[in-house]
Amino acid sequence: MPPLAEYTDYLNRIWAQRRLTNGGPLAEELELELAAFVGNEAHVQLVANGTVALQLAIRALELTGEIITTPFSYVATTGSILWEKCTPVFVDIDESTFCLDAAKIEAAITPRTQAILATHVYGYPCDVVRIAEIAERHQLKVIYDGAHAFGTRVAGRSLLTYGDITACSFHATKLFHMAEGGALVTRELALAEKIGLLRTNGHHGDHYVMAGTNAKTSELNAALGLCLLPRVPGFIEHRAALYRLYREELAGLPLSYPLLTVDVDYNYAYFPVIFSTEMQLLTTKEQLAAAGVGTRRYFFPTLNALPYHTGAPCPVAEDISQRVLCLPFYQELTPSQVQLIAQLVRVSMPAEEAELALLCINE
């Protein structure tokens, strides 16, 4: 949350201007600031949430057939494909980054394949270079679900500028947020203009161009974004320190982590840990809950196993999904809280329990 007084200043401006929505001055200001933050001549269009951003991305690219996608993401990734009457084709994930495995994409391409929709899981980048090569070779569109990706850079360039369109979520639970909100990022002007029309019921004033929807954001949401955006670099710096502390405090335990490649400036959006077994995850989760520490199985279950849709088996994603737990990770988290949580994780592990018991005996 930004300081309330800062938000109130924006509310005073809104009340003075008496503009609540329809591309008001604060939404316009935030779009410009976001475009500057993202850089690389990207166009940024704010929308009501990240799910509608995914839906509009599919619409704007006029996709109707099969979309190759990841089984390891939030349900909105697959949900948007189904909502837009396209067919999700699941390709398994890379075991080190948890993102769509680029090496397995080509085997899943059919004459009906039109696009690839991949998620930058936890803010770790997909193999954007290889995916671009495959897309070019097979004339496919590329949409990235960038809901976790805000602030990550690859080779100095914002991760949001890869692919044809990146759909962002600025939901309250994300690194940067507007309570509810989202954006579409593209470097193609014509596409940006089309998205601008699609989100405002397909018209500019009295000029009706195409069928659209209402996916606009409000001035109240934009004001939150304007308060928080300048703080994002500080958030990332603070989270990087918390991340390092977690890793130190958890050192020596049978846990693993997603792999960060060298040319990535990571945004530290989440703190996922992978246990050696699901049983251990459940034990630790339960013991943390008993101590009042909330954790989330994120993402579980995998999207190829949704009850209303069947997808091909994805053994890597299914295995990771059963063993991954996101520990508490947010700006206000203090170093001593990190130490406490890590200690709780440590004592939830059997070998460590034995070690602790031994310590007690020695005392």
Ligand X SMILES: *Cc1c(COP(=O)(O)O)cnc(C)c1O
Helices (H), the chain: 4-17, 25-38, 50-60, 75-83, 128-138, 189-198, 219-228, 232-249, 278-290, 315-323, 335-347, 350-362
Which of the ranges 37-45, 99-107, 144-152, 197-205 carries the binding residues for ligand X, by CB under 6 A?
144-152
Q: Which residue, 76 or 89, has its beta carbon nearer to ligand X?
A: 76
Q: Is 269 in the site for ligand X (CB under 6 A)?
A: no
Output the six-digit token pair for 255: 């846990």
As measured in angstroms, the least distance from the Cβ of 174 to ligand X is 6
- Hunting for tokens 């039109």 — which residue is that? 114
Pairwise CA distance, residues 37 & 313, whole Å = 39
Q: Does 71 bind ligand X (CB under 6 A)?
A: no
User: Torsion over CA of 299, 301, 302 and 306, rounded to 10 degrees?
Assistant: -130
Contact pick of 10, 38, 50, 70 for ligand X (by CB under 6 A): 50
Using CB under 6 A as the binding rule, whether residue 216 contacts ligand X is answered as no
**182 near ligand X, rule: CB under 6 A:** yes
Pairing relationship of beta strands 255-256 and 264-265 according to DSSP bridges: unpaired
239 binds ligand X (CB under 6 A): no
Count other Cβ atoms within 10 Å, centred on residue 361.
Answer: 7
119 lies in the binding site for ligand X (CB under 6 A) = yes
* Length of the chain, in residues: 363
Residue 227 has which token pair? 């308060």
User: Which among 26-34, 82-90, 145-153, 301-309 is the span making contact with ligand X, rule CB under 6 A?
Assistant: 145-153
Residue 76 touches ligand X, criterion: CB under 6 A: yes
Three-class DSSP category at 81: helix
**77 counts as binding ligand X under rule CB under 6 A:** yes
Angle between helix 335-347 and 278-290 (nearest 10): 130
Binding range to ligand X, per CB under 6 A, among 17-25, 45-53, 311-319, 345-353 = 45-53
Q: Which residue number, 73 or 161, has a Cβ lying nearer to ligand X?
A: 73
* The pair of three-digit structure tokens given for residue 89, joined into one six-digit string: 């084709």
Return the half-sphere exposure (C-beta side, CA atoms, 13 A cut-off) of residue 226: 22
CB of 17 to ligand X, least distance (A): 26
**Nearest to ligand X of 257, 298 (CB atom):** 298
For residue 199, state whether it binds ligand X (rule: CB under 6 A): no
Position among 10, 37, 74, 329 found at the interface with ligand X (CB under 6 A): 74
User: Which region among 72-80, 150-158, 211-219, 257-265 touches ligand X (by CB under 6 A)?
Assistant: 72-80
Cα dihedral value 249, 250, 251, 253, nearest 10: 150
Q: What is the DSSP letter of 123?
A: G
- Please report how close the Cβ of residue 354 comes to ligand X at its closest, in angstroms: 38
Q: How far is the CB of 147 from ligand X (least distance, A)?
A: 3
Q: Applying CB under 6 A, does 66 fall inside the site for ligand X?
A: no
| Site for ligand X contains 323 (CB under 6 A) | no
Which CB atom, from 50 or from 212, has the smaller least distance to ligand X?
50
148 binds ligand X (CB under 6 A): yes
Q: How far is the CB of 55 from ligand X (least distance, A)?
A: 10
Nearest residue to ligand X on Cβ basis: 50
Nearest to 256 by CA among 281, 237, 279: 281
- Least distance CB 53 / ligand X (angstroms): 7
Stretch that binds ligand X, among 24-32, 47-55, 197-205, 307-315 (CB under 6 A): 47-55
What is the residue-wise DSSP string for 147-209?
A: TTTTT-EETTEEGGGSSSEEEEE--TTSSS--SS-EEEEES-HHHHHHHHHHTBTTEETTEE-
Q: Which of 294, 297, 318, 316 is nearest to 306 (CA)?
A: 318
Q: Does 164 bind ligand X (CB under 6 A)?
A: no
Does residue number 147 form part of the binding site for ligand X (CB under 6 A)?
yes
Residues at the site binding ligand X, with contacts judged by CB under 6 A: 49-51, 73-74, 76-77, 119, 145, 147-148, 169, 171, 182
